[in-house]
Structure 1
Amino acid sequence: MRATWSAMVTVLVAALATGCTAVITGTAYPAPGMKPRPLAGSIIKEVLLDGTALSRMLDQPFAADPELPPRFGGSDELSGAYVLSSPVECVGVVAMLQRAAYQSANVTHVARESWWDDGDSGKVISVDEAVVALPTAAEADALFTKFSQQWDTCDGTVLTLRSARLSFRDQIEDVRVANSVLAATVSEESTSGSHSGTIPEARAIGVRVNCLVEVEVAFYSAHSQSDQGSGEVSTSAIDIARTMMEKISALS
């Protein structure tokens, strides 16, 4: 909680004439033998899903978080809020865009947006999504491999997450990798202030071309069958990550 797109197709006559692009069942892809173009600059903002797409995927309405407007920039958009946490090597599993996790990477651009439940009752509290661009696909793949190994060692860990004002106790579970998406389930319990209870969260990181996408979906701890939404802790973050990855492919 801390932090379905489908490409519209036109007939690419000129591109096909030069052999630069092939069109397959409604989505534009690089022609065989052509390497995808790395994404850089503000174009990465187009990878983020809007409220309409998220509402369609999770079957409940979402509105932009007024306290967390869309962010775009360089590595300065990474967060150093939880440097006091322990074990620090697992902070990147439970919190988005942690500077400690990306410190060895040459991050060029970061885009991030947050969304909140905009209905009377739903299964999902919030969705946080981000895309991180690196100079090359090889660097992105290497970082994804590093994250996969790191998350695996954190599976089953109870993390004490601390910032200057807040603290949480996070249980990391069910770490897995499938089709270029790394996922985990986090049970978050506030240990500061008047808030109590445990919030289930779904985390996912995907890699495509030179970009990594990060997703965090926070769920209400209790809900009834009548609550709106199709969100699932085990699948929703993964589905959102894969949709963002398809947008990267279309933009590359």
Structure 2
Amino acid sequence: MRMVGPVTVCAAIAALAVGCSPIVAGTAKPAKNLKPRPLFGSVLRQVPLDDTALTRMLEQPFLNRQPPVFGGPDKLGDADSAGSSPECLGVTTMLQRNAYESADVRDVMWETWWNDGDPAQVISVIEGVVSLPSAAQAQTLFAQFPQQWQQCKDATTTEQTGPIKTTTVVNSVRVADSVVAATNTATAELPNIEALQATPQARAVGVRLNCIVEVEVVFFGDRHPSDPGSANPDTSAVDIAHAMMKRIDTLS
């Protein structure tokens, strides 16, 4: 027989004397004043939307043709710009080093999803997330972006990747709900070949806790309204950024 100590007996007597509190069924919830914890390391891999979520959101299938990229600040891009507005590369190109040079970047993660080869609205979706040491530092960095991006409206950037030269025009810039967004038009050229058809591209950058999220959605230039998909150059990148920000809230 298990022995019951005097402390336990006294506690039981006291409970009988004052009456027992009822047990309330339900789900345990964190304390209201519990501060969200910053996100670092491999947990960032859970922030981007997967193919199922993107398919549901944009109503067309996507494929992952290469593994996600994860690492430190060295994973930021350093585009070779010969254009008239190199300071606007952060608006037209994902995760550029010069956009983060004033920040203490901890982790960088990005992933690309591709159209499955059938007619559709979208060629590709790139999702990226950058972690900084604190939410305050992330907010300070993000606060620089709206004015920088708005100054780049109607600007042109030129990026050289091997033999391919891509010229991009910033058509519009919008700021709302912790997100700055742009709609661009990109034209690629190869040596001795006529310039390819211009493609609309949607960009969005948002902030949540200690993380900056980036999104790029590239559309087919020759798409038709009857092609599968519901993506919109003015809204889809922002919608994906907001969905990633909600995941950060959940993970924190």
* Mapped pair 1:251 → 2:244: no
- CA deviation digits over 1:165-185, x for unaligned, max 9? 321111102101100011000
Once residues 91 and 197 of structure 2 are traced to their aligned partners in structure 1, the CA distance between those partners, rounded to angstroms, is: 20
* RMSD after superposition: 1.5
Could you say which residue in structure 2 is the equivalent of 1:135?
133
The TM-score with structure 1 as length reference comes to 0.85
Once residues 85 and 112 of structure 1 are traced to their aligned partners in structure 2, the CA distance between those partners, rounded to angstroms, is: 25
Offset, 1:222: 1.9
* Mapped pair 1:56 → 2:56: yes
Could you say which residue in structure 2 is the equivalent of 1:124?
122
5+ residue gaps, structure 1, are 1-10, 22-30
CA contact (8 A) 2:159 2:166 kept: yes
Structure index of larger Rg = 2
Once residues 98 and 198 of structure 1 are traced to their aligned partners in structure 2, the CA distance between those partners, rounded to angstroms, is: 22
Could you say which residue in structure 2 is the equivalent of 1:223?
223
Could you say which residue in structure 2 is the equivalent of 1:112?
110
Could you say which residue in structure 2 is the equivalent of 1:172?
170
Once residues 52 and 140 of structure 1 are traced to their aligned partners in structure 2, the CA distance between those partners, rounded to angstroms, is: 29
Could you say which residue in structure 2 is the equivalent of 1:201?
201
Q: 1:99 to 1:128 in 2, by over 3 A?
A: same
Identity fraction in percent: 48
CA contact (8 A) 1:75 1:108 kept: yes
For residue 117 of structure 1, what is the amino acid of its counterpart? N
CA contact (8 A) 2:133 2:210 kept: yes
For residue 156 of structure 1, what is the amino acid of its counterpart? D
Offset, 1:158: 1.6
* Mapped pair 1:75 → 2:73: yes
Classify the secondary structure of the residue corresponding to 2:78: coil
CA contact (8 A) 1:85 1:91 kept: no
For residue 77 of structure 1, what is the amino acid of its counterpart? K
CA contact (8 A) 1:77 1:110 kept: yes
Q: 1:12 to 1:83 in 2, by over 3 A?
A: farther
Offset, 1:85: 4.1
Could you say which residue in structure 1 is the equivalent of 2:13?
none
Runs of 4+ in 1 over 3 A off after TM superposition: 83-86
